Amino acid sequence: MTAASATTSFAARLPARRYLVALVIAFWAAGWVLLRGRDTLALGGAELTPLHSWLNAAMDAIDDSRNSNPIFLYFINYIRLFLDEAVTFVQALISQPAMDRPLPVLGWLGVVGLATAIALLYGNVRVALLTAAGFLSFGVLGLWQESMDTLALTLTAVALSLAVGVPLGVWAGLSDRFHRLVTPVLDFMQTMPTFVYLAPLTLFFLIGPASATVATMIYAIPPAIRITAHGIRQVSPDTLEAGASLGATSAQALRHVRLPMARQTIIVGVNQTIMAALSMATIAALIDAPGLGQTVLKALQTLDVGTAFNAGLAIVIMAVVLDRVTSAASRRVEAARRAGRLRTVRGRRLEVAGVLGVAAVLGYLSYTYVWAAEFPIEANLGSYVRRAADAVSLWAQDNLVAYTDIVKNLLTNGLLNPFQTVLAGSPWWLVTAVAVAVALLVGSARAALVTAVGLLLVVVLGLWQDSMVTLASTLVATVLVMLLGMVAGVWMGRSDRADMVLRPVLDAGQTMPAFVYLVPILGLFGPTRFTAIIAAVVFAAPVAIKLVAEGIRGVSATTVEAATSAGASTWQLISKVQLPMARSAVTLAASQGLIYVLSMVVVGGLVGAGALGYDVVAGFSQHQLRGKGLAAGIAIVVLGIVLDRVMRAATQRADQAAHGGSHQH
Amino acid sequence: MSVTRSGKVRAAVLVTGAGLLLTACGGAKVGEAQPAAGGGGAKACGTVNLAINPWVGYEANAAVIAYVAEKQLGCKVVKKDLKEEVAWQGFGTGEVDAVVENWAHDDLKKKYIEDQKVAVSAGPTGNKGVIGWYVAPWMAKKYPDITDWNNLNKYASLFKTSESGGKGQLLDGDPSFVTNDEALVKNLKLDYKVVYAGSETALITAFRQSEKQQKPIIGYFYEPQWFLSELRLVKVNLPAYKEGCDADPEKVACDYPPYELDKIVSKKFADSGSPAYTLIKNFTWTNEDQNLVAKYIAEDKMTADEAAAKWVADNPDKVKAWLPSS
Amino acid sequence: MTVPSVAERSGLDIDAPPVLSVRGLWKVFGPKAESVVGSSLTRKELKEQTGCVAAVRDVSFEVRRGEVFVVMGLSGSGKSTLVRCLTRLIEPTAGEVLLDGEDVRKADHRRLRELRRHRMAMVFQHFGLLPHRCVLDNVAFGLEIRGVAKQDRYARAREVVALVGLNGFENSYPDQLSGGMQQRVGLARALAADPEVLLFDEPFSALDPLIRREMQNEVIRLHHEVGKTMVFITHDLAEALKLGDRILIMRDGELVQVGTPDQVVGAPADDYVRDFVSDVPRSHVLTLRWIMRPPQSGEPLDGPELGPDVVIRDAVHAVLSADRPVRVTDGGSLLGVVTSAEMLEVIAGGQDR
């Protein structure tokens, strides 16, 4: 009966709330008409506020203390040495001449053999074949050494990220307090644009592998922590209780119950950590990180789309191989038990010994003989890939531009410009008041508070108008991402064939460095905010699509069957059953989509989005704009946190409404 | 089923293993016939850490210097791909010995040369840097008077885009360059809005498309730049630069000053007496020289080394003049 | 197999000290839970005024050694909370839980672990098995965490696995077993530690009826073989009547009635219980004691003899086939008589209701 009364009172409240939101929006529109252009806090591209200058000075002061500050002298220096050694060691194994040899310890044959062996032992035959083909393709693309450099850096960064991230994740899984403490830090690490801390990092860790590793780790640790914590937390309370009832200590419960049961999820975390690390390959190249990223950036200087695509393709292949192997390994954790019953331990040992034996033979060959060490140049097909990519890019730029122009103008003038005009053209206090009111109405008092503090912080940072311009683009991009996510996600969730076709495309969209396709989309859409939106959508839509598809697939078959038997049409089935039941997945898709869009703000700055993205890029390039760049980075983080919290609060409210707020013990 | 599979695997092991061993017998061994790394004459010169800033003109300078240093002085050259700011930081940490094309950067000069005293200037490269507003050739042909800034307002409506809010669009924005364009537009009372393209790539693509699609674009650009050998952009004449007219960036209403591009080396490197330092100090060439090598790299897709080798072979006298006299 | 009737099983030493003694137990969820203890507000009033939910309110009972003690109630009645309070899987808010006279609530963490490891073990509704361990390792888990050597714990685990009839499944994994089999593993795991008290939290409610009956019989058999004291939570009255030596009925966190099955059916404490037991065929539960009457004058008292604790159903044949009243005697003294009339009334009446 509590449930019933809650539902009725909410039902009574709901329309009122809707009207109130509409009222607030109307109030805003009226305010804009009357006050437009006033108090918009515009700041020119090269202008600075006192805060920015102060930040500049502060960063300079830190730079200057580098040689006297004991933290640098003792602590950071040793970390740097350790990281440098670690990367150099892996490089010596697979990519760089080492140990008085003109070639690395393992040549191509050895690396291919070892990688395939690992894929076979931890995954299955299919991914082993994929691994072999993928690794061979690095050589075939003519990028063997670059690929191995990238692999060396990625693997080192991933290993260290996991060494740090998994224990912290376990802790965050066990302790609510630590979880609360670490979550905003992780948000910060994931949304703070890399460009902001790339230059300062080189001061602390110097130019070279150490800085690149740290930059990669900053981005790759959060998923390791988050997903591990999630895995630890989702362990069935029944099993934990059973453990407790037998008198297990918390250490025993962790070792025997939580960790084994979270293992599959933790491997998913490993997978995500690898993907995050790999996505840093290009940006880390800006501070001389070796590998494919260098090739991409170099090619970009001469607008050499073909070469950039060739290297980007190698990154995509590496990502797909690593993704499939870790996914297969995660599934194998489940399957291993059944296999373990069928096969004796001895059988497994023989298999391991056999596979490793072959790998060892191949490794020895590649250590000893030149033909197995250096990838044969005759097999290099990279130039075909380059030429093909060039031709496609050129054709598209020449022939599609008329249509793309129409699309761009339509969406810019119809959606983006009005939106931006109202956001950036209203007085800052009006926008803040409206945002707080909306957060309160659709979310919670807490969300409203976060909104108020966040937006005031943006004002203090001196980047109000830039933030509003970026916000407008971000919201438009997120809407597009969600549209795509719903349409393609539903399709993919309902059809295995669609899944098979779309998945590689999505993987490519997620892992192909944006720098590779900047030139063609610039050719098609010009340096505009819309180009930035396209780049963001290409990067963010895949994750949204995958999450929605996952949610649709997760809807219980019985429910679908029941609806079908009740005579629901396909459209009714989607709109009334599958989407509503996948709502939590859709929400997750929206919030993840938003985070991914925000992480592309800086790339947007490179292609004409201006505003915060450009501020960050310029701050990275020009000494006197460093402080402003830092401020812009913080503003991006703040926008991300505000949007995320409001969205979460709104979802929570909707969930409570849906479940009638009944709490029974 | 798994047991049989592992059996198959074992069989495969034996077969491939044996096969590979057989075929392997004839191969050359690693380290046997390969030339020794480094080179014998490296003693006198040692290692030179060259920063490579991310534009092709710079790479052309660096390519030729590195080639000469390695082939004629026996140095070991380590190239490091870095943005300017990071490269300058390297003077302090000892990781960068030389930056071989520097565009002004008075703030960095103040910090690292005057304040920290970790870097010194090594003289001009001989290249003259020009910064300004450019249009694509077809526009200069079709609207001959567009190259005079006084006529810009007349053409403002041509340059309207989705980004420029009803005004003409002035495409700015390689973020590495300091611009006064917002102030210029204001102070020259132009009906334009500065739009930040955000990268050199975006600027070049925009100009390329402008020429191809006959789409009007006016934007910030600079020379020497390899792209100019592909498309000779035409500079718009702003009010002529006079010494001191750009003193207050808020009030600036004149063209950009001509830049003398120069070389910066770390203090330590300069004091080391390395022959490579002498080479870098003596290195000068013309914009045409640089554009040529840049074209080899950018258009003809040569590697930096190939491009340098070609140019050095064609210009032995110029190279000779750079070498240490001894 | 044959199922021993309740009467056969009641051979408990009533005077011996109880194994488990619960006094004035409260469990309140919510803010300032302590202040609610002792309150006489109804659940709804409590929720509205304090935001608290009293899941267990002032419950006291004793469990005798070797007894099967059933706690019965509908969902939300607090019975699962109650059983968790016994080993402090849920921390009680007030009251005492004495295990062999030792107050469980006063035990520190170490002592509590000792209690859980050696003296009380629990079987759960959803089994709570470790999916990554095979049956044998699941059963040995409790021994493993208390540090028993590998050889010994496997030996013990094998014994218990045999005891619950899982021979041949030692190396299977939980998800390869049916629900009933999984619960046998849960049962074996609880038995492995050789505890004094076994706690069952609705162990069979997730199983289908046939399996459920089989498992109930299994519990009865095990009770016979190992003679453990059992506290058994269920929402199924038939199960409670079948297994329980005594039954505690709970409603809204409060104790409504404690008694033997025939007491609960024959003399419900209130309308709630009466309503509850209305569907029970009384002849299956009630004993002759409940229907015997004093002999009327002139009745022949040389008919067959039966004990007062014989269940009516089991006496039907004897009574109906006798041509004179059946005497109900206890230790030689005559308690009363039973005739076909009483028999038919209870059988007919029982079905009537």
Band of pLDDT at residue A26, cut at 50, 70 and 90: confident
CATH number of the A8-56+400-658 domain: 1.10.3720.10
Q: Are residues B151 and B162 in the same domain?
A: yes
Predicted pLDDT at A336? 63
Answer whether A199 touches B (CB < 8 Å).
yes
Closest CA to C33 of C115, C94, C113, C107: C94
Q: Where are the domains of chain A?
A: 8-56+400-658, 69-393
How far apart, in whole angstroms, are the C-alpha atoms of residue B194 and residue B104? Answer: 23
Residue B227, in any domain of the structure: yes
| Contact yes or no, C with A (3+ CB pairs under 8 Å) | yes
Task: Judge: B201–A620 Cβ closer than 8 Å, yes or no.
Answer: no
Asked whether residue B104 is assigned to any structural domain, the reply reads yes
Q: Report CB contact under 8 Å: C129, A257.
A: no
Show which of residues 267-286 on chain B sit within 8 Å of chain A, judged by CB atoms. Answer: none
pLDDT for position B31:
60
Percent of chain A with pLDDT over 70: 94
Say whether residue A68 is in contact with chain B using an 8 A CB cutoff. no
Judge if B119 and B79 occupy the same domain. Answer: yes
Mode of pairing for the β-strands spanning B259-266 and C68-72? unpaired
Q: How confident is the model at residue B42 (pLDDT cuts 50, 70, 90)?
A: very low
Asked if A606's CB is within 8 angstroms of B199's CB, the reply is: yes
Say yes or no: B123 and B268 in one domain.
yes
> How far apart are the C-alpha atoms of C83 and C120, rounded to whole Å?
11
**Residue where the block lists tokens 């290099």:** A380
Predicted confidence band of residue A36 (pLDDT cuts 50, 70, 90): confident
pLDDT tens-place string over residues A566-588: 777 888 888 888 888 888 788 88
Label the pairing between strands B168-172 and B234-236. Answer: unpaired
Q: Does residue A416 have a pLDDT over 70?
A: yes
Touching A (3+ Cβ pairs <8 A), the chains are B, C
What residues make up the domain containing B140?
A: 130-235
Produce one character per residue of B243-270: b if its CB has 16 or more CB atoms within 10 Å, e if not.
Answer: eeebeeeeebebbbbebebbbbbbbebb
Is the pLDDT confidence value at A354 over 90?
no
- Check B10 against A608: CB less than 8 A apart: no
Q: Pick from A2, A238, A664: which is nearest to C128 by CB?
A: A238
B9 lies in some domain: no
B119 and B138, same domain (yes or no): no
Q: Is residue B254 part of a domain?
A: no
What's the pLDDT tens digit per position in C265-303? 888 888 888 888 888 888 888 888 888 888 888 888 888
pLDDT at residue B25 in the model: 47
Do B280 and B229 belong together in one domain? no
Q: Tell me which residues of chain A, numbers 459 to 518, contact chain B at a CB-CB cutoff of 8 Å.
A: 518
Tally of CB atoms within 10 A around A212: 31
Q: Is the pLDDT of residue B168 over 80?
A: yes
Q: What is the pLDDT of residues C17-45, one digit of tens each?
A: 888 999 999 999 888 888 888 888 888 88
Q: Does A249 touch chain C (CB under 8 A)?
A: yes
Regarding chains B and C, contact by 3 or more CB pairs under 8 A is answered as no
Neighbours of chain B (3+ CB pairs under 8 A): A
**Contact flag A620-B13 (C-beta cutoff 8 Å):** no
Round to whole Å and give the CA distance between C161 and C145: 18
Q: Which helix (H) or strand (E) holds B169?
A: strand B168-172
**Which CATH number is A69-393 given?**
1.10.3720.10
For residues B142 and B104, state if they share a domain: no
Query: Position of tokens 């409670």?
Result: C240
pLDDT of residue A177: 94
CATH number for the domain harbouring residue B172: 3.40.190.100
Q: What is the distance in angstroms between the Cα of C153 and the nearest Cα belonging to chain A?
A: 14
Cα angle A185, A596, A137 (rounded to 5 degrees) comes to 110
In this prediction, the answer to ipTM > 0.90 reads: no
Residue B51 main-chain phi, psi, to 5 deg: -75, 140
HSE of C320, CA atoms in CB hemisphere, 13 A: 10
Chain segment C77-126, per-residue pLDDT in tens: 889 999 999 989 899 999 999 998 899 999 998 899 888 888 999 999 88
Our count of domains for chain B comes to 2
- How confident is residue A159, by pLDDT bands cut at 50, 70 and 90? very high
Contact status of C29 with chain A (Cβ, < 8 Å): yes
Task: Specify the CATH number for the domain of residue B282.
Answer: 3.40.190.10
Q: What is the pLDDT of residue B308?
A: 93
Residues B94 and B35 in one domain: yes
Quick check: A338 contacting C, CB < 8 Å? yes
Residues B143 and B223 in one domain: yes
pLDDT of B191 above 70: yes
In the predicted structure, residue B199 carries a pLDDT above the cut 90: no
Q: Could you tell me which of B271, B321, B319 has the C-alpha nearest to residue B70? A: B319
Backbone angle region of C32, left / alpha / beta, with phi > 0 → left and psi within -120 to 50 → alpha? left
A71-82 pLDDT, tens per residue?
777 788 888 889
The region of weakest confidence among A363-367, C140-144, C185-189, C230-234 is A363-367
Q: Which chains reach chain C with 3 or more Cβ–Cβ distances below 8 angstroms?
A: A
On whether any CB of chain C is under 8 Å from the CB of A257, the answer is yes
**Phi then psi dihedrals of residue B149, to 5 deg:** -60, -25
Residues A647 and A487: their CA atoms lie apart, in Å, by: 21
Q: What is the pLDDT of residues A185-236, one digit of tens each?
A: 998 888 888 888 887 888 788 877 888 999 999 999 999 999 899 889 888 8
In this predicted structure, the answer to whether residue B264 has a pLDDT above a threshold of 90 is yes
**Residues A641-663 as b or e (16 or more Cβ within 10 Å = b):** bbbbbbbbbbbebeeebeebeee
Name residues whose C-beta falls within 8 Å of residue C39's C-beta, 6 or more positions apart in sequence: C46, C54
Is the confidence at residue B284, as pLDDT, over 90? Answer: yes
The torsion angles phi and psi of C62, rounded to 5 degrees, stand at -130, 145
Asked if domains A8-56+400-658 and A69-393 share a fold, the reply is: yes
> Is B68 domain-assigned?
yes
B11 in any annotated domain: no
* Pairing outcome for strands B119-135 and B234-236: antiparallel
Position C321 pLDDT exceeds 50: yes
Examine residue B270 and state whether it is found in any structural domain, yes or no: yes
Q: How confident is the model at residue A405 (pLDDT cuts 50, 70, 90)?
A: confident
Distance of alpha carbon C22 from the chain centroid: 15
For residue B308, give both structure tokens.
């340098």
pTM, entire model: 0.81
**Given an 8 Å threshold on Cβ–Cβ distance, is A249 in contact with C145?**
yes
Residue listed under structure tokens 């480094």:
B38
Nearest of C313, C213, C323, C216 to residue C265 by alpha carbon: C313
Whether residue B58 lies inside any domain: the answer is yes
- Tokens 């002529």: give the residue: B240
3-state secondary structure of B220: strand
A182 has a pLDDT exceeding 90: yes
